[in-house]
Every structure is written in structure tokens, then in C-alpha cells.
Amino acid sequence: MADAANAGGGGSGEGGGQSRRDFLYLASGAMGAVGVATVAWPFIDYMNPSDAVLALASVEVDISGIDPGMAIKVMWRGTPVFVRHRTEASIESARSVALDDLPDPVADEQRVNRTEWLVVEGVCTHLGCIPLGNSSSEPRGDYGGWFCPCHGSHYDTAGRIRKGPAPANLPVPPHSFIDDTTIKIG
């Protein structure tokens, strides 16, 4: 390339043609790179979720039919959310444990809006399976909360990880009480 540039450069003096040709190469190369990046962006962004998907959808859940000790599963943004009506014993067991004993220490009070209602995303923080334990007939694990059948993670009655490979507690989605029998998730 260098030889060709020298021979064909046509610059005023020796070296002049060389640097002028180099400048042209760099300038057009840089312009080309900017052009490619500009055109690539629409294609990359095309694959992102659209605004319709991103819009924070919210669902309202009627909780009047959930007996103490039971939980239901609702869909929110394409993932399951557990809404659990906790018994006195469950609340007691969640609050009596020392924070130092937890792999992901968060106090039970910080995870609930109303003491007897626990709302958590029903997706295991290990590899994304749905843990069992909403009804009392399903295995609830060693701590009375949920048990993930895929790789054996045990969650307690506050949805916190206690044992197994999962690294974090079940996330608490944003939620609020519209009235005593309706929760708005999202």
C-alpha cells in the first residue's frame, strides 16, 4: 500500500504525497466506521423490547378469597407473582430468625406492606424455575416458604433464600393496597 501511495500520491514533494494519502485513508475510514455504526444502531435497537412491552403494566388482584396459609399465582409482565396470606406462625418464624443467619439479609418488615400479606416474584433467583409451595399440598422446603424443584433452593415464609444454590431472595415487586381486598401490582 505504501509503495502505491508513494508512486501515485502526486504530492508536491517527497513525503508530501505519502502523508496526504494517509490522511485520506484515515479520514474515509473514520467516516466509514461512523456510517456503519449509524446504520447498525437501528438494527440493534429493533431487537430491543418495544415501548408497548416496556410500559410498566400493572395488575389488580382480588385477595378476598385467599385463606390464611394459602397463596395464589398471578401473571405480571409475563412472570408469575406469588401473593401469600401468611398465618401468625409463618410471620413469627420469618421474624424470629437472626439476620446474620440469612444468605441475603433483609428484615421481614422491609419485605411486606401489610404483615399478613407477602407479595414476591415467583421466579427462583438461581436459574429461573417457578418454586413450589403455594398450596399446602406442595413441598414448601425446610423453612415453610417455597421449594424450587429444579436445583433444591429453600425459601422461607418471607420469600428469603435460606438454603440451596440460589444467590438472592425472591424479589418483591412494587405493590400497594387499593383497599382491604385488592392489591395493585406494578
Partner 1 sequence: MSSDATFHTNSRAIAWIDHRLPIFSFVHEHLVAYPAPRNLNYMWNFGALAGISLVIMIATGIFLAMHYVATPDKAFDSVEHIMREVQYGWLIRYIHMNMASFFFIVVYIHIFRGLYYGSYKPPREVLWLLGIVILLLMMASAFIGYTLPWGQMSYWGATVITNLFSAIPLVGDELVVWLRGGFSIGAPTLSRFFALHYLLPFIIVGVVVLHIWALHRFGSNNPLGIDAKGPQDKVPFHPYYTIKDMFGLGVFLTIFAAVVFFAPNYLGHPDNYVPADQLTTPSHIVPEWYFLPFYAILRSIPDKLLGVVAMFGSIVVLAALPWLDRSPVRSTRYRPMHKWFFALLVVDVLVLGWIGAKPPEGIYLVIGRLATLYYFLHFLVVLPLLGKFETPKPRPQSIAEPVLKGGGGPAAAPAKPMEKA
* Catalytic residue positions, numbered: 151
Task: Quote the least distance from Cβ 60 to partner 1, whole Å.
Answer: 25
Q: Are 157 and 145 in contact (CB under 8 A)?
A: yes
Q: Which residues pair with 71 in a beta bridge?
A: 84
> Does residue number 96 form part of the binding site for partner 1 (CB under 8 A)?
no
User: φ and ψ at 153, to 5 degrees?
Assistant: -95, 135
Residue 50 or residue 137: which is nearer to partner 1 going by CB? 50
Residue 48 or residue 64: which is nearer to partner 1 going by CB? 48
User: φ and ψ at 75, to 5 degrees?
Assistant: -90, 130
The site for partner 1, by CB under 8 A, has a size of 13
Site string for partner 1, 2-21 (x = CB under 8 A): --x--xx-------------
User: φ and ψ at 133, to 5 degrees?
Assistant: 130, 5
* Bridge pairing between strands 153-156 and 71-76: unpaired
Degrees to nearest 5, angle at CA 42 with 37 and 45: 110
> Does residue number 45 form part of the binding site for partner 1 (CB under 8 A)?
yes
> Does residue number 43 form part of the binding site for partner 1 (CB under 8 A)?
yes
| Residues in contact with partner 1 by the rule CB under 8 A | 1, 4, 7-8, 42-43, 45-48, 50-52
